Amino acid sequence: MNHETESTPLATLPFEGQTKAAIFEALDTFRSGDVSWRSGRMLGYTYNPGADPMEVAHEAYMQYLTENGLDWTVFPSMHKLETDLVHIVRELLRGDEAVVGSCTSGGTESILCAVKAAREYARAHKPHITQPEMVLPETAHGAFHKACLYFGIKPVMTGYNPQTFHADVDAIRNAITENTILIVASAPGYAQGVIDPIREIGQVALERGVLFHVDGCVGGIHLSFMRRMGHDVPDFDFTVPGVTSISADLHKYAYAPKNISCVLYRSKEIRFHQYFSNRRNTCYALVNPGVLSTKSGGPYAGAWALMHFLGEAGYRRIVEKVQDATRLLVDGINAIEGLRVLGNPDMCMFSFTSDDLNIFELADRIRLNGFYMQPQFTHGETPANLHISMNWGTSDVVDDGLAALRKSVDEVRADSGAINLTAVRAQVQGLLADLGPGAGDALRDLAGITEGGLPERMALINSVIDALPDELAEHMLSSYMNEVFV
Protein backbone atom coordinates (compact mmCIF):
# COMPACT_ATOMS: atom_id res chain seq x y z
CA MET A 1 0.00 0.00 0.00
CA ASN A 2 1.02 3.60 -0.61
CA HIS A 3 0.11 6.01 2.14
CA GLU A 4 -0.08 9.70 1.31
CA THR A 5 1.43 12.18 3.74
CA GLU A 6 -0.93 14.83 5.02
CA SER A 7 -1.23 17.64 2.47
CA THR A 8 -0.28 21.12 3.62
CA PRO A 9 -2.19 24.23 2.56
CA LEU A 10 -0.84 26.02 -0.49
CA ALA A 11 1.31 29.01 0.41
CA THR A 12 0.28 32.60 -0.06
CA LEU A 13 2.51 35.64 0.31
CA PRO A 14 2.05 37.18 3.78
CA PHE A 15 1.04 40.84 3.80
CA GLU A 16 3.43 41.65 6.63
CA GLY A 17 6.93 40.24 6.53
CA GLN A 18 7.73 37.46 8.96
CA THR A 19 10.51 37.51 11.53
CA LYS A 20 13.88 35.99 10.80
CA ALA A 21 13.33 33.43 13.56
CA ALA A 22 9.95 32.35 12.17
CA ILE A 23 11.36 32.01 8.65
CA PHE A 24 14.25 29.78 9.66
CA GLU A 25 12.06 27.72 11.95
CA ALA A 26 9.74 27.07 8.99
CA LEU A 27 12.66 26.14 6.73
CA ASP A 28 13.93 23.66 9.31
CA THR A 29 10.45 22.17 9.53
CA PHE A 30 10.23 21.72 5.75
CA ARG A 31 13.22 19.39 5.70
CA SER A 32 12.16 17.33 8.70
CA GLY A 33 11.15 14.50 6.34
CA ASP A 34 14.30 14.65 4.21
CA VAL A 35 16.81 11.85 4.27
CA SER A 36 19.66 13.04 6.50
CA TRP A 37 22.71 13.28 4.25
CA ARG A 38 24.80 14.51 7.18
CA SER A 39 24.36 11.11 8.85
CA GLY A 40 26.28 9.40 6.06
CA ARG A 41 23.31 7.12 5.41
CA MET A 42 22.15 8.59 2.11
CA LEU A 43 24.19 6.65 -0.43
CA GLY A 44 23.60 8.98 -3.36
CA TYR A 45 22.79 12.57 -4.42
CA THR A 46 25.12 14.33 -1.97
CA TYR A 47 28.90 14.32 -1.68
CA ASN A 48 30.14 15.28 1.77
CA PRO A 49 33.86 16.15 2.17
CA GLY A 50 33.64 16.62 5.93
CA ALA A 51 32.95 19.55 8.23
CA ASP A 52 36.08 21.67 7.72
CA PRO A 53 36.18 21.56 3.90
CA MET A 54 32.45 22.18 3.77
CA GLU A 55 32.73 25.19 6.06
CA VAL A 56 35.40 26.69 3.80
CA ALA A 57 33.31 26.01 0.69
CA HIS A 58 30.14 27.46 2.21
CA GLU A 59 31.87 30.63 3.38
CA ALA A 60 33.38 31.18 -0.07
CA TYR A 61 30.02 30.37 -1.68
CA MET A 62 28.22 33.03 0.35
CA GLN A 63 31.01 35.56 -0.27
CA TYR A 64 30.30 35.31 -4.02
CA LEU A 65 26.56 34.60 -3.86
CA THR A 66 25.56 37.82 -5.68
CA GLU A 67 28.41 38.04 -8.20
CA ASN A 68 26.87 37.38 -11.61
CA GLY A 69 28.61 35.32 -14.27
CA LEU A 70 26.39 36.79 -16.97
CA ASP A 71 28.96 39.54 -17.59
CA TRP A 72 32.56 38.82 -16.65
CA THR A 73 33.61 42.30 -17.83
CA VAL A 74 31.69 43.65 -14.85
CA PHE A 75 32.75 40.78 -12.60
CA PRO A 76 36.29 39.85 -13.69
CA SER A 77 36.49 37.71 -10.55
CA MET A 78 34.17 35.28 -12.33
CA HIS A 79 36.58 35.07 -15.26
CA LYS A 80 39.43 34.31 -12.83
CA LEU A 81 37.50 31.62 -10.95
CA GLU A 82 36.27 29.87 -14.08
CA THR A 83 39.65 29.95 -15.79
CA ASP A 84 41.38 28.50 -12.73
CA LEU A 85 38.81 25.71 -12.34
CA VAL A 86 39.01 24.73 -16.00
CA HIS A 87 42.81 24.66 -15.87
CA ILE A 88 42.77 22.43 -12.77
CA VAL A 89 40.35 19.99 -14.38
CA ARG A 90 42.30 20.08 -17.65
CA GLU A 91 45.45 19.01 -15.80
CA LEU A 92 43.59 16.16 -14.08
CA LEU A 93 42.21 15.00 -17.43
CA ARG A 94 45.69 15.23 -18.98
CA GLY A 95 44.79 17.79 -21.60
CA ASP A 96 47.45 19.88 -23.33
CA GLU A 97 47.44 23.66 -23.67
CA ALA A 98 45.05 23.48 -26.63
CA VAL A 99 42.31 22.00 -24.43
CA VAL A 100 39.76 24.60 -23.31
CA GLY A 101 36.50 24.49 -21.42
CA SER A 102 33.68 26.14 -19.53
CA CYS A 103 32.00 25.80 -16.16
CA THR A 104 28.32 24.93 -16.10
CA SER A 105 25.53 24.38 -13.59
CA GLY A 106 25.92 20.60 -13.57
CA GLY A 107 26.39 17.44 -15.57
CA THR A 108 23.22 17.87 -17.58
CA GLU A 109 24.18 21.36 -18.73
CA SER A 110 27.71 20.16 -19.54
CA ILE A 111 26.21 17.40 -21.68
CA LEU A 112 23.77 19.80 -23.33
CA CYS A 113 26.68 22.11 -24.17
CA ALA A 114 28.76 19.29 -25.67
CA VAL A 115 25.87 18.04 -27.79
CA LYS A 116 24.95 21.56 -28.93
CA ALA A 117 28.58 22.17 -29.89
CA ALA A 118 28.65 18.93 -31.87
CA ARG A 119 25.48 19.85 -33.75
CA GLU A 120 26.74 23.32 -34.63
CA TYR A 121 30.18 21.94 -35.55
CA ALA A 122 28.48 19.54 -37.95
CA ARG A 123 26.44 22.36 -39.46
CA ALA A 124 29.67 24.24 -40.13
CA HIS A 125 31.80 21.32 -41.36
CA LYS A 126 29.25 18.80 -42.67
CA PRO A 127 26.42 20.93 -44.07
CA HIS A 128 24.97 17.91 -45.90
CA ILE A 129 23.71 16.61 -42.53
CA THR A 130 20.13 17.78 -42.15
CA GLN A 131 18.97 14.99 -39.85
CA PRO A 132 21.74 14.68 -37.25
CA GLU A 133 22.21 11.48 -35.26
CA MET A 134 24.04 10.65 -32.04
CA VAL A 135 25.33 7.14 -31.33
CA LEU A 136 24.39 6.43 -27.75
CA PRO A 137 25.03 3.24 -25.73
CA GLU A 138 22.08 2.13 -23.63
CA THR A 139 24.28 2.61 -20.56
CA ALA A 140 24.67 6.35 -21.24
CA HIS A 141 22.97 8.88 -18.97
CA GLY A 142 19.45 10.13 -19.70
CA ALA A 143 20.77 13.69 -20.10
CA PHE A 144 21.89 12.73 -23.62
CA HIS A 145 18.32 11.84 -24.50
CA LYS A 146 17.24 15.20 -23.13
CA ALA A 147 19.83 16.85 -25.37
CA CYS A 148 18.50 14.95 -28.37
CA LEU A 149 14.98 16.12 -27.60
CA TYR A 150 16.04 19.73 -27.08
CA PHE A 151 18.28 19.97 -30.14
CA GLY A 152 16.41 17.84 -32.67
CA ILE A 153 18.92 15.00 -32.83
CA LYS A 154 18.05 11.36 -33.40
CA PRO A 155 19.45 9.06 -30.70
CA VAL A 156 20.80 5.85 -32.24
CA MET A 157 20.92 3.34 -29.41
CA THR A 158 23.58 0.64 -29.19
CA GLY A 159 23.88 -2.34 -26.88
CA TYR A 160 26.21 -3.38 -24.09
CA ASN A 161 27.59 -6.53 -22.57
CA PRO A 162 25.01 -7.58 -19.92
CA GLN A 163 27.72 -9.17 -17.75
CA THR A 164 30.38 -6.43 -17.85
CA PHE A 165 28.12 -3.48 -18.80
CA HIS A 166 30.73 -2.21 -21.26
CA ALA A 167 29.43 -0.47 -24.36
CA ASP A 168 29.59 -2.68 -27.46
CA VAL A 169 32.33 -1.21 -29.66
CA ASP A 170 31.31 -3.15 -32.79
CA ALA A 171 27.70 -2.01 -32.34
CA ILE A 172 28.90 1.60 -32.12
CA ARG A 173 30.97 1.20 -35.28
CA ASN A 174 28.04 -0.32 -37.15
CA ALA A 175 25.62 2.38 -35.97
CA ILE A 176 27.60 5.26 -37.48
CA THR A 177 26.09 6.72 -40.65
CA GLU A 178 26.72 9.77 -42.80
CA ASN A 179 24.37 11.63 -40.41
CA THR A 180 26.30 10.86 -37.22
CA ILE A 181 27.57 13.99 -35.48
CA LEU A 182 28.67 12.54 -32.13
CA ILE A 183 29.58 9.29 -30.37
CA VAL A 184 29.10 9.01 -26.60
CA ALA A 185 30.69 6.77 -23.97
CA SER A 186 30.93 6.88 -20.18
CA ALA A 187 33.74 6.94 -17.62
CA PRO A 188 32.09 5.41 -15.77
CA GLY A 189 28.46 4.70 -16.59
CA TYR A 190 26.43 5.91 -13.65
CA ALA A 191 24.32 2.80 -13.12
CA GLN A 192 27.03 0.18 -12.55
CA GLY A 193 30.17 2.33 -12.25
CA VAL A 194 31.92 0.69 -15.23
CA ILE A 195 34.27 2.53 -17.61
CA ASP A 196 33.50 1.95 -21.29
CA PRO A 197 36.34 0.86 -23.63
CA ILE A 198 37.27 4.46 -24.38
CA ARG A 199 40.47 3.74 -26.39
CA GLU A 200 38.68 1.37 -28.75
CA ILE A 201 35.77 3.77 -29.23
CA GLY A 202 38.20 6.65 -29.78
CA GLN A 203 39.78 4.67 -32.60
CA VAL A 204 36.35 4.23 -34.18
CA ALA A 205 35.75 7.98 -33.90
CA LEU A 206 39.07 8.69 -35.64
CA GLU A 207 38.40 6.16 -38.39
CA ARG A 208 34.99 7.64 -39.12
CA GLY A 209 35.83 11.31 -38.55
CA VAL A 210 33.18 11.81 -35.84
CA LEU A 211 33.37 13.83 -32.63
CA PHE A 212 33.53 11.73 -29.46
CA HIS A 213 32.29 12.84 -26.02
CA VAL A 214 33.27 11.05 -22.82
CA ASP A 215 30.79 11.49 -19.99
CA GLY A 216 33.06 11.77 -16.98
CA CYS A 217 30.50 13.71 -14.94
CA VAL A 218 30.62 11.33 -11.99
CA GLY A 219 34.06 9.83 -12.52
CA GLY A 220 36.32 12.39 -14.13
CA ILE A 221 37.78 13.78 -10.91
CA HIS A 222 37.77 10.64 -8.73
CA LEU A 223 39.21 8.40 -11.46
CA SER A 224 41.96 10.91 -12.22
CA PHE A 225 43.14 10.82 -8.61
CA MET A 226 42.87 7.02 -8.55
CA ARG A 227 45.16 6.90 -11.58
CA ARG A 228 47.66 9.27 -9.94
CA MET A 229 47.65 7.03 -6.88
CA GLY A 230 48.59 3.95 -8.91
CA HIS A 231 45.22 2.29 -9.32
CA ASP A 232 44.62 0.38 -12.52
CA VAL A 233 42.33 2.84 -14.32
CA PRO A 234 41.73 2.43 -18.07
CA ASP A 235 42.58 5.53 -20.09
CA PHE A 236 39.50 7.68 -20.62
CA ASP A 237 40.77 11.24 -20.88
CA PHE A 238 42.49 13.51 -23.42
CA THR A 239 45.42 11.10 -23.75
CA VAL A 240 43.04 8.94 -25.81
CA PRO A 241 43.18 9.87 -29.51
CA GLY A 242 39.70 10.56 -30.82
CA VAL A 243 38.26 12.01 -27.61
CA THR A 244 37.08 15.52 -28.46
CA SER A 245 35.17 16.55 -25.32
CA ILE A 246 34.78 15.45 -21.69
CA SER A 247 32.34 16.49 -18.97
CA ALA A 248 33.36 16.35 -15.30
CA ASP A 249 31.24 17.51 -12.37
CA LEU A 250 32.83 19.40 -9.51
CA HIS A 251 29.81 19.06 -7.24
CA LYS A 252 30.16 15.28 -7.24
CA TYR A 253 33.59 13.81 -6.53
CA ALA A 254 35.38 17.13 -6.32
CA TYR A 255 32.98 17.66 -3.36
CA ALA A 256 32.14 21.25 -4.31
CA PRO A 257 28.77 22.70 -3.27
CA LYS A 258 26.12 22.49 -5.96
CA ASN A 259 25.72 23.46 -8.80
CA ILE A 260 28.95 23.32 -10.78
CA SER A 261 30.45 21.15 -13.50
CA CYS A 262 32.99 21.53 -16.32
CA VAL A 263 32.90 20.64 -19.99
CA LEU A 264 36.25 20.56 -21.81
CA TYR A 265 37.04 20.42 -25.52
CA ARG A 266 40.06 19.30 -27.52
CA SER A 267 40.27 22.75 -29.12
CA LYS A 268 38.79 26.24 -29.24
CA GLU A 269 37.47 25.42 -32.70
CA ILE A 270 35.03 22.93 -31.18
CA ARG A 271 34.20 24.99 -28.08
CA PHE A 272 33.27 27.98 -30.27
CA HIS A 273 30.16 26.11 -31.35
CA GLN A 274 28.99 25.77 -27.74
CA TYR A 275 28.49 29.55 -27.48
CA PHE A 276 25.32 31.53 -28.08
CA SER A 277 25.41 35.19 -29.06
CA ASN A 278 22.53 37.54 -29.88
CA ARG A 279 22.31 41.19 -30.93
CA ARG A 280 18.98 41.10 -32.75
CA ASN A 281 16.89 43.19 -30.40
CA THR A 282 16.89 46.40 -28.35
CA CYS A 283 18.42 44.66 -25.33
CA TYR A 284 22.08 44.43 -24.46
CA ALA A 285 24.21 42.12 -26.58
CA LEU A 286 23.89 38.61 -25.17
CA VAL A 287 26.74 36.13 -25.23
CA ASN A 288 26.47 32.92 -23.21
CA PRO A 289 28.90 30.01 -23.05
CA GLY A 290 26.17 27.65 -21.87
CA VAL A 291 22.45 27.29 -21.35
CA LEU A 292 22.22 29.76 -18.46
CA SER A 293 22.62 33.51 -18.66
CA THR A 294 22.60 34.77 -15.09
CA LYS A 295 24.56 32.48 -12.78
CA SER A 296 25.65 33.03 -9.21
CA GLY A 297 29.34 33.21 -8.42
CA GLY A 298 28.68 31.15 -5.30
CA PRO A 299 29.26 27.70 -6.81
CA TYR A 300 32.40 28.92 -8.60
CA ALA A 301 33.94 30.39 -5.45
CA GLY A 302 32.83 27.39 -3.39
CA ALA A 303 34.49 24.97 -5.81
CA TRP A 304 37.67 27.06 -6.08
CA ALA A 305 37.97 27.38 -2.30
CA LEU A 306 37.32 23.70 -1.62
CA MET A 307 39.78 22.44 -4.21
CA HIS A 308 42.49 24.72 -2.93
CA PHE A 309 41.70 23.81 0.69
CA LEU A 310 41.93 20.06 0.06
CA GLY A 311 44.79 20.12 -2.44
CA GLU A 312 45.97 16.94 -4.11
CA ALA A 313 46.94 15.36 -0.79
CA GLY A 314 43.46 15.92 0.59
CA TYR A 315 41.82 14.33 -2.44
CA ARG A 316 44.20 11.37 -2.26
CA ARG A 317 43.21 10.77 1.37
CA ILE A 318 39.54 10.93 0.43
CA VAL A 319 39.90 8.59 -2.53
CA GLU A 320 41.86 6.01 -0.55
CA LYS A 321 39.29 5.94 2.25
CA VAL A 322 36.32 5.81 -0.11
CA GLN A 323 37.77 3.03 -2.25
CA ASP A 324 38.55 0.95 0.84
CA ALA A 325 34.99 1.41 2.10
CA THR A 326 33.57 0.53 -1.32
CA ARG A 327 35.48 -2.76 -1.43
CA LEU A 328 34.15 -3.72 2.00
CA LEU A 329 30.60 -2.82 1.02
CA VAL A 330 30.71 -4.71 -2.30
CA ASP A 331 32.09 -7.81 -0.58
CA GLY A 332 29.52 -7.51 2.18
CA ILE A 333 26.59 -7.23 -0.21
CA ASN A 334 27.77 -10.21 -2.25
CA ALA A 335 27.89 -12.21 0.99
CA ILE A 336 24.18 -11.61 1.72
CA GLU A 337 22.09 -14.51 0.47
CA GLY A 338 19.98 -13.48 -2.52
CA LEU A 339 21.92 -10.30 -3.35
CA ARG A 340 24.62 -9.77 -5.96
CA VAL A 341 26.57 -6.77 -7.24
CA LEU A 342 26.23 -6.19 -10.98
CA GLY A 343 29.42 -6.14 -13.04
CA ASN A 344 32.85 -5.15 -11.77
CA PRO A 345 32.71 -1.47 -10.76
CA ASP A 346 35.77 0.64 -11.56
CA MET A 347 35.26 3.15 -8.75
CA CYS A 348 33.08 3.90 -5.75
CA MET A 349 29.67 3.54 -7.38
CA PHE A 350 27.84 0.34 -8.20
CA SER A 351 24.49 -1.42 -8.10
CA PHE A 352 23.15 -4.70 -6.78
CA THR A 353 20.07 -6.80 -7.43
CA SER A 354 18.17 -9.79 -6.12
CA ASP A 355 16.83 -12.79 -7.98
CA ASP A 356 14.14 -13.60 -5.42
CA LEU A 357 13.10 -10.29 -3.81
CA ASN A 358 11.17 -7.28 -5.10
CA ILE A 359 14.06 -4.81 -5.13
CA PHE A 360 11.62 -1.89 -4.77
CA GLU A 361 10.21 -3.37 -1.55
CA LEU A 362 13.80 -3.70 -0.36
CA ALA A 363 14.43 -0.03 -1.14
CA ASP A 364 11.47 1.00 1.02
CA ARG A 365 12.59 -1.26 3.87
CA ILE A 366 16.14 0.08 3.77
CA ARG A 367 14.79 3.61 4.00
CA LEU A 368 12.63 2.67 7.00
CA ASN A 369 15.77 1.20 8.56
CA GLY A 370 17.63 4.48 8.20
CA PHE A 371 19.45 4.28 4.85
CA TYR A 372 18.72 5.47 1.32
CA MET A 373 19.73 3.49 -1.76
CA GLN A 374 18.54 4.60 -5.21
CA PRO A 375 16.17 2.32 -7.17
CA GLN A 376 16.91 1.73 -10.87
CA PHE A 377 14.48 0.07 -13.27
CA THR A 378 14.76 -3.06 -15.38
CA HIS A 379 16.32 -2.46 -18.79
CA GLY A 380 16.72 -5.26 -21.29
CA GLU A 381 18.84 -7.94 -19.66
CA THR A 382 19.68 -5.72 -16.69
CA PRO A 383 17.33 -6.43 -13.76
CA ALA A 384 15.90 -3.79 -11.47
CA ASN A 385 18.54 -2.86 -8.92
CA LEU A 386 19.60 -0.49 -6.18
CA HIS A 387 22.38 2.00 -6.84
CA ILE A 388 24.99 3.16 -4.32
CA SER A 389 27.38 6.08 -4.69
CA MET A 390 29.96 6.07 -1.90
CA ASN A 391 31.76 9.24 -0.83
CA TRP A 392 33.88 10.47 2.06
CA GLY A 393 30.80 11.26 4.15
CA THR A 394 29.42 7.73 3.83
CA SER A 395 32.67 5.80 4.20
CA ASP A 396 32.31 5.25 7.96
CA VAL A 397 28.87 3.60 7.82
CA VAL A 398 29.68 0.37 5.96
CA ASP A 399 29.06 -1.92 8.94
CA ASP A 400 25.82 -0.16 9.86
CA GLY A 401 24.72 -0.17 6.24
CA LEU A 402 25.30 -3.89 5.84
CA ALA A 403 23.46 -4.58 9.10
CA ALA A 404 20.49 -2.50 7.92
CA LEU A 405 20.55 -4.26 4.56
CA ARG A 406 20.57 -7.72 6.12
CA LYS A 407 17.70 -6.69 8.40
CA SER A 408 15.75 -5.30 5.43
CA VAL A 409 16.23 -8.47 3.40
CA ASP A 410 14.90 -10.55 6.30
CA GLU A 411 11.91 -8.24 6.73
CA VAL A 412 10.94 -8.37 3.05
CA ARG A 413 11.19 -12.15 3.07
CA ALA A 414 9.03 -12.36 6.18
CA ASP A 415 6.37 -9.91 4.94
CA SER A 416 3.40 -11.83 3.57
CA GLY A 417 1.98 -8.58 2.22
CA ALA A 418 5.05 -7.63 0.20
CA ILE A 419 4.30 -6.66 -3.38
CA ASN A 420 4.76 -9.52 -5.79
CA LEU A 421 6.54 -8.10 -8.84
CA THR A 422 5.35 -10.95 -11.07
CA ALA A 423 1.73 -10.33 -10.08
CA VAL A 424 2.07 -6.59 -10.75
CA ARG A 425 3.52 -7.32 -14.19
CA ALA A 426 0.54 -9.56 -14.98
CA GLN A 427 -1.91 -6.84 -13.88
CA VAL A 428 -0.13 -4.22 -15.96
CA GLN A 429 -0.05 -6.43 -19.06
CA GLY A 430 -3.77 -7.19 -18.60
CA LEU A 431 -4.64 -3.49 -18.40
CA LEU A 432 -2.56 -2.71 -21.48
CA ALA A 433 -4.19 -5.56 -23.42
CA ASP A 434 -7.74 -4.56 -22.39
CA LEU A 435 -7.49 -0.77 -22.53
CA GLY A 436 -4.59 -0.06 -24.88
CA PRO A 437 -3.74 3.67 -25.07
CA GLY A 438 -6.53 4.43 -22.62
CA ALA A 439 -4.88 2.52 -19.78
CA GLY A 440 -3.26 5.59 -18.24
CA ASP A 441 -5.90 6.31 -15.57
CA ALA A 442 -6.16 2.64 -14.62
CA LEU A 443 -2.36 2.38 -14.34
CA ARG A 444 -2.23 5.47 -12.14
CA ASP A 445 -4.91 3.97 -9.92
CA LEU A 446 -3.03 0.67 -9.77
CA ALA A 447 0.14 2.50 -8.75
CA GLY A 448 -1.70 4.60 -6.16
CA ILE A 449 -0.79 7.93 -7.76
CA THR A 450 -3.04 10.70 -6.48
CA GLU A 451 -2.99 14.48 -6.71
CA GLY A 452 -0.82 16.28 -4.20
CA GLY A 453 1.14 14.87 -1.29
CA LEU A 454 4.15 12.60 -1.37
CA PRO A 455 3.92 8.84 -0.89
CA GLU A 456 5.61 7.37 2.16
CA ARG A 457 6.27 4.15 0.25
CA MET A 458 7.43 3.93 -3.36
CA ALA A 459 7.45 0.16 -3.95
CA LEU A 460 4.06 -0.05 -5.67
CA ILE A 461 4.65 2.97 -7.92
CA ASN A 462 8.10 1.69 -8.88
CA SER A 463 6.82 -1.85 -9.46
CA VAL A 464 4.15 -0.59 -11.87
CA ILE A 465 6.54 1.71 -13.73
CA ASP A 466 9.10 -1.09 -13.95
CA ALA A 467 6.51 -3.29 -15.73
CA LEU A 468 5.74 -0.72 -18.44
CA PRO A 469 7.30 -0.31 -21.90
CA ASP A 470 9.83 2.55 -21.99
CA GLU A 471 7.63 5.12 -23.74
CA LEU A 472 4.67 4.47 -21.49
CA ALA A 473 6.91 4.42 -18.40
CA GLU A 474 8.28 7.85 -19.35
CA HIS A 475 4.73 9.15 -19.78
CA MET A 476 3.83 7.69 -16.39
CA LEU A 477 6.82 9.34 -14.71
CA SER A 478 5.85 12.73 -16.14
CA SER A 479 2.25 12.10 -15.13
CA TYR A 480 3.37 11.22 -11.60
CA MET A 481 5.35 14.43 -11.27
CA ASN A 482 2.47 16.39 -12.80
CA GLU A 483 0.15 15.08 -10.08
CA VAL A 484 2.53 15.51 -7.15
CA PHE A 485 3.33 19.17 -7.90
CA VAL A 486 0.14 21.25 -7.76
- pLDDT for 9 equals 63
Average pLDDT, the chain: 94
- pLDDT for 227 equals 98
> With contact defined as beta carbons under 8 Å apart, do 134 and 144 qualify?
yes
Domains and CATH numbers, the chain: 62-278+286-305 (3.40.640.10), 421-484 (no CATH)
User: Average pLDDT for residues 353-366, to the nearest whole number?
Assistant: 96
- Tell me which of 118-127, 455-464, 477-486 is least confident: 477-486
Which residues touch 327 (CB under 8 Å, ≥6 apart)?
none
pLDDT per position as a tens digit, 30-83: 988 888 888 888 889 899 999 999 999 999 999 999 999 999 999 999 999 999
Number of Cβ within 10 Å of residue 24's Cβ equals 11
Helix, strand and coil in the chain, % to nearest 5: 45, 15, 40
> What are the b/e assignments for 443-453, b being 16+ CB within 10 Å?
bbebbbbeeeb
Percent of the chain past pLDDT 70, that is, above it, reads 97
Which of the four pLDDT bands, split at 50, 70 and 90, describes residue 323?
Answer: very high
> What are the b/e assignments for 44-78, b being 16+ CB within 10 Å?
bebbbbeeebbebbeebbeebeebebeebeebeeb
pLDDT per position as a tens digit, 151-199: 999 999 999 999 999 999 999 999 999 999 999 999 999 999 999 999 9
Write the DSSP symbol of residue 6: P
- pLDDT for 441 equals 83
User: Average pLDDT for residues 339-357, to the nearest whole number?
Assistant: 97
User: Average pLDDT for residues 99-118, to the nearest whole number?
Assistant: 98
User: Average pLDDT for residues 428-443, to the nearest whole number?
Assistant: 86
